[in-house]
Amino acid sequence: MNIVSQIAADLKAQLEIFNELLMLSARDAEALRHDSVEGLQDKASQKEKLLPRLDEAMKTLKRNSEIWQTLPVGERQRHPEIQALLKKGQDAVMKILMLDRQNEQGLLKKGLVPSNMLPSANRQRPAYVASLYSRNQ
């Protein structure tokens, strides 16, 4: 199996994981919108089981992206489907992150997050991170 077909196979497998997580996040969002929070704990455990797979998929996506960029331009132009798969994977990850952030906000509004799990107040201050970097350089 050559490198291009290996990258394509990896990217397709990663997309399945990303789509599974995206589907779970979308179900959570729907449940929060309709105030049916009974099954959220089960879904959270399903997501937790997927996290190691997601972590590995993210590493593989990054590695494949780096390998893809090192290939000659002519080789990359002959396989536009790889670039499309890379973009789909990156887009799916961004959608997952956005949905999870919205779901977290919904849980916070409904008071369904234990106090020890509340996000830091500094997370709501975008300039906080920049000030930390400037102080530590």
Instruction: Give the pLDDT confidence of 33-71 residue by residue, as tens digits.
Output: 877 666 666 667 777 888 888 889 889 989 999 999 999
CB-based contact 19:25 (threshold 8 Å): no
What pLDDT is recorded for position 53?
A: 87
CATH number assigned to the domain comprising residue 101? 1.20.58
Q: Do 17 and 57 contact (CB within 8 A), yes or no?
A: yes
Q: What is the number of structural domains in the chain? A: 1
| pTM (two decimals) | 0.72
Q: Residue 52: which domain range?
A: 3-135
Structure tokens at 47: 């997501």
11 CB-near residues (< 8 Å, 6+ apart): 61, 64, 82, 85, 86, 88, 89
Q: Residue 32 carries which side chain, given as an amino acid letter? A: L
Whole-angstrom Cα distance, residue 111 to residue 134? 35
The pLDDT of residue 9 is 93
